[in-house]
């Protein structure tokens, strides 16, 4: 940081090396070594008059933080598809552009969703634990049986980029795909999937259910929704933990209503409800759906593309 080369970007979360290198070369960016908190972001912006900020969950900016930002800030960029850690309306009210990276995560999140489907249906966590304990006992024809994926009906809640990418992968496994969303997709995007106008109408037909929508103010999946699923269904969530009433999910898993579940997101991340860790019929992962080298690089570079556009006076590529 110098008067000749003023800092034009604050990167308030730890990013991959390729992203940091470009940010430093192109924007004379200050790149944090560890995730900053929200008020630290505000203080830095006030001290250095930066026009752009790249934030993460820990450095999320709510209305009170945005109100305290200096007028120099023109863009708040997110390197993720989600932006629930940011008060978008408050930013817009101050004339600040908000961007995200909706395309960067699609393929890897869809891959990971199918991993959860396969792992939950085929009891992957149980098999892996058996092997780590040394195996030592052959299983008979009726023991430790999973449920096959081929020929099952997959219900997709949210038929956006990720939902459609999951559907495509599921069809390659011989699954039938049904979906629900706020409206029907264009026939060219459905690729043979069947639309249901409401979640309640779709649930009784979904032998495997996967969520791909943003979290709202109340859970989407409650006791009522789990009871509408067919007996022995499998539940998948790689979207947001806030979509699920975890007490209702636990009851469905322990009562036999659900055969199993594959979970990558949780209500109180990063602190999991420990009851789920004690269940054999749940495959658990720590919110890692986008965690590949290629995707994390692309997420950060997409955020920088948006910063470059706005600071050059061009429209953002991915404006929220």
Domains of the chain (ranges; CATH) run: 9-104+293-311 (3.40.50.720), 106-284 (3.40.50.720)
Report in angstroms the alpha-carbon separations of 14 from 39, 76, 78, 242, 316.
Answer: 17, 16, 13, 25, 23
**Mean pLDDT score, 27-53:** 96
Residue 229: Cβ within 10 Å count: 23
**Mean pLDDT score, 237-253:** 97
Q: What was the pLDDT predicted at 83?
A: 85
161-189 exposure pattern, b = at least 16 Cβ within 10 A, e = fewer? bbbbbbbebbeeeebbbbbbbeeebeeee
Q: Which of 65, 169, 240, 257 is catalytic?
A: 240
| pTM for this prediction | 0.91
Report in angstroms the alpha-carbon separations of 286 from 103, 112, 184, 291, 301.
Answer: 22, 12, 32, 10, 24
pLDDT digits (tens, 9 = 90+) for 207-242: 999 999 988 889 999 999 999 999 999 999 999 999
CA 196 to centroid of chain Cα atoms: 23
Helices 106-121 and 293-311 pack at an angle, to 10 degrees, of 150
Q: Is pLDDT of 2 > 60?
A: no
Q: Which of 64, 269, 278, 294 is catalytic?
A: 269
pLDDT digits (tens, 9 = 90+) for 131-153: 999 999 999 999 999 999 999 99
Three-class DSSP labels, 72-134: CCCEEEECCCCCCCCCHHHHHHCCCEEECCCCCCHHHHHHHHHHHHHHHHCCHHHHHHHHHCC
Q: Which of 28, 176, 275, 287 is catalytic?
A: 287
Q: What was the pLDDT predicted at 310?
A: 97
Active site residue 269: yes
Active site residue 287: yes
- Considering only residues 5 and 137, tell me which one the structure prediction assigns the higher pLDDT: 137
pLDDT digits (tens, 9 = 90+) for 78-133: 999 888 889 999 999 999 999 999 899 999 999 999 999 999 999 999 999 999 99
């Amino acid at each position: 940081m110098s008067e000749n080369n003023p800092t034009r970007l604050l990167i308030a979360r730890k990013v991959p090396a390729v992203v940091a290198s470009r940010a430093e070369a192109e924007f004379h960016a200050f790149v944090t070594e560890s995730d900053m908190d929200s008020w630290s972001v505000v203080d830095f912006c006030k001290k250095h008059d930066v026009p752009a900020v790249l934030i993460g969950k820990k450095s999320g900016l709510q209305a009170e933080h945005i109100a305290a930002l200096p007028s120099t800030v023109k863009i708040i960029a997110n390197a993720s598809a989600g932006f629930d850690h940011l008060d978008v309306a408050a930013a817009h009210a101050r004339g600040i552009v908000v961007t995200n990276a909706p395309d960067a995560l699609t393929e890897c999140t869809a891959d990971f969703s199918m991993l959860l489907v396969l792992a939950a249906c085929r009891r992957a966590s149980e098999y892996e634990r058996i092997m780590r304990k040394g195996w030592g006992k052959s299983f008979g024809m009726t023991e430790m049986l999973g449920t096959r994926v081929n020929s099952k009906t997959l219900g997709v809640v949210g038929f956006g980029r990720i939902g459609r990418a999951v559907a495509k992968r599921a069809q390659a496994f011989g699954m039938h795909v049904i979906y629900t969303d706020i409206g029907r997709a264009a026939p060219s995007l459905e690729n043979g999937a069947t639309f249901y106008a409401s979640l309640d109408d779709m649930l009784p037909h979904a032998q495997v259910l996967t969520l791909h929508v943003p979290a709202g103010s109340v859970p989407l999946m409650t006791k009522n929704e789990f009871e509408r699923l067919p007996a022995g269904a499998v539940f998948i969530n790689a979207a947001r933990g806030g979509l699920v009433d975890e007490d209702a999910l636990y009851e469905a898993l322990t009562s036999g209503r659900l055969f199993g579940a594959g979970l990558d997101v949780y209500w109180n991340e990063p602190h999991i409800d420990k009851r789920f860790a004690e269940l054999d019929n749940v495959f658990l992962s720590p919110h890692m759906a986008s965690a590949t080298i290629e995707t994390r690089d692309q997420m950060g570079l997409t955020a920088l593309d948006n910063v470059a556009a706005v600071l050059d006076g061009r429209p953002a590529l991915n404006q929220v």
